[in-house]
Structures are given as structure tokens and as C-alpha cells.
Amino acid sequence: MKKIMLAFGVVHAVTALLFAAGAICLIVIGAQIGWDAMTTGDVGLTSAQDVIEAIGILAAAVVALQIAETIIEEEVVRDADISAPTRVRRFLSRFFVVVVVALGIEGLVATFHAVHDDLADLVYAAALVGSVGILLAAWGLFVHLNRSAEELEPDAMEEAKSEDEKIQGE
């Protein structure tokens, strides 16, 4: 059984490295788009759209890096089983904060493009922004409802806090 668990740790580590590699690729692409927008000499709407597009790509890179960090901390370093309510809330919260921000930025990019290129696409941008709002509300409801479950297991919260101190101390 220990060998199987070690194999899962290795798979998690490789997956995290692939997420980090993807994030680096996105950072390079976003930087290239941003650089091109600044150096073309065209200081207009097209440049602004390119910069906003670069920001959207960089936001996706942050999501990939955050996922990589979460996988490494939760699955490799801590080797944690995320069955306790505290662990589930913390894991999902780390993930959702970057997803909500990234999708919010993508909604801004889509809105900007729709307003300046094709107003028919504004419906899709509005759907994306509305979905972000629903996702944010659902996350808030989950956190609120999860608090009562955490109160039933105060030891799990203390254990998670002690693991945080170990991670930060290293």
C-alpha cells in the first residue's frame, strides 16, 4: 500500500510540474502579447485590447501556478487526505479564489471586445460575468455552510493550522 501511495505522490508532483510549465508558457505568451502591444507604435484601442488580452492570459497563468502550488502543498508535502471539512474548505477556497478572479478578468476582456468589435457578443460576455457571480455566491454559501461542519471537528482545524506553521517554517 505504501508503494501505491508513493506512486500517487509522484503522479501529483508530475502533474503540479506540468501545471507550472504551462503557467510559464502562458506567462511568456502574455508577456509577448503585452510587449508587442506596447512596441507597435499604435497607441489606440487595438493596443488596449491587446494589453487586456495579455492580462487575461497572465490571469490564466496565475490559476495554473496556484493549482500547482495547491497540489504540491496538499498532496505532496502534507500528503493530506482532504476528507475533513476544514481541508475541503481550504483546498476549494484556494482554488476558487484564483478561478473567480481569472474568470472575472476574462469577463472584462470579453466585454471590452464585444463593446468595441461586435455588440452581439455582449450576450456571451454577460453570461460569463453572470456565471462568475453565481460561482462566487455558491462559493460563499459553501464556506458559510461548511463553518458549521468545522465546528463539529475543532481538532481538524487545529491540525491544519499546525501543518501551516510547518510549511511556513520550512
- The pLDDT mean for the chain works out to 82
Kindly compute the dihedral angle of the four CA atoms of residues 40, 42, 48, 52, in this order, to the nearest 10 degrees: -10
**What is the per-residue pLDDT for 32?**
96
- Determine the distance from the C-alpha atom of residue 123 to the mean position of all C-alpha atoms in its chain, rounded to a whole number: 25
**What is the per-residue pLDDT for 2?**
81
Range of weakest confidence among 86-90, 116-120, 159-163: 159-163
Q: Which residues fall within 8 angstroms of residue 97, CB to CB, at 6 or more apart?
A: 66
pLDDT per position as a tens digit, 110-157: 888 888 888 898 999 999 999 999 999 998 888 888 777 667 666 656
Percent of the chain with pLDDT over 70: 82
**What is the per-residue pLDDT for 168?**
59
pLDDT per position as a tens digit, 64-87: 898 898 888 877 776 555 556 666
**What is the per-residue pLDDT for 105?**
83
Closest among 99, 129, 98, 107 to 52, alpha carbons compared: 107
Domain membership of residue 56 as a residue range: 2-169
Q: What angle do CA 140, 146, 149 make, to 5 degrees?
A: 165
More confident residue, 95 or 84: 95
Q: In total, how many domains does the chain have?
A: 1
Q: How far apart are CA 40 and CA 106, in angstroms?
A: 24
Q: How far apart are CA 49 and CA 37, in angstroms?
A: 9
Q: Which residues of 123-155 are buried (b: 16+ CB within 10 A; e: fewer)?
A: eebeebbeebeeebeebeeeeeebeeebeeeee
